[in-house]
Amino acid sequence: MSRIEQLLAELDDAREQLLVVIEVLPDDALTQPGAVGDWSIADVLVNLTAWESEAVTALMQMEKGKRPTRLLAALAEVEAYNQARYEENQERELDRVFDDLMKVRLELEEWLEAFSDRDLTDGQRYKWLNGRPLAHLIRQLTIENERRYLPAIAAFAQTWQTAQDEMEQGGVIPLTTISIFNSTDS
């Protein structure tokens, strides 16, 4: 298996894990603030899409021999970048969030196939990566980013599903199990 095939398989595996966790959730759960910190799951998906979009733009620039300055600036100020994307996308419809998530992944996979194994694995190939291989950066922006959010998303999905099951059985749901009532800011 080539390095590109391995990377594409890892991308698919990470994305499948995420989608399996959220597939049980209805739209109102996906858009509920507080699922992951202050963010909804939809906010997380927008953030994942934004980083993958930056990766696609960077690959396009690199293919032309250019330095990906916007990506490098985003990586230098991750929290500021994340906050700006959060604020820009507050009114984005859920259908569009999912469409964008899928489209940018397809674009990323297509662009990755344009690069050789050497392009992906040679740490000296792109000087601006300071000795890191391009594949490591792609993993950081995609796979590691998705896996970083996965435990919180899975916990939220489990809590949501448990609350729904209790409601269906006529049970009382403790308000502390719903994140908006479980604030430590009181």
CATH number for the domain spanning 169: value is 1.20.120.450
**What gap in Å lies between CA 45 and CA 95, rounded to an integer?**
11
Residue-level pLDDT at 147: 96
Does the pTM exceed 0.85? Answer: yes
Question: Could you tell me if residue 122 is inside a domain?
Answer: yes
Work out how many domains the chain is built from and give that number: 1
Confidence label for 181 from pLDDT (cuts 50, 70 and 90): low
Question: Could you tell me if residue 116 is inside a domain?
Answer: yes
- Whether residue 86 contacts residue 44, with contact meaning beta carbons closer than 8 Å, is answered with no
Beta strand ranges found along 33-183 (DSSP E): none
DSSP 2-28: -HHHHHHHHHHHHHHHHHHHHTT--HH
Question: Could you tell me if residue 186 is inside a domain?
Answer: no
The residue segments making up the domain with residue 154 are 3-181
Question: Could you tell me if residue 108 is inside a domain?
Answer: yes
Mind listing the pLDDT tens digit for each residue in 46-88?
A: 999 999 999 999 999 999 999 999 999 999 999 999 999 999 9
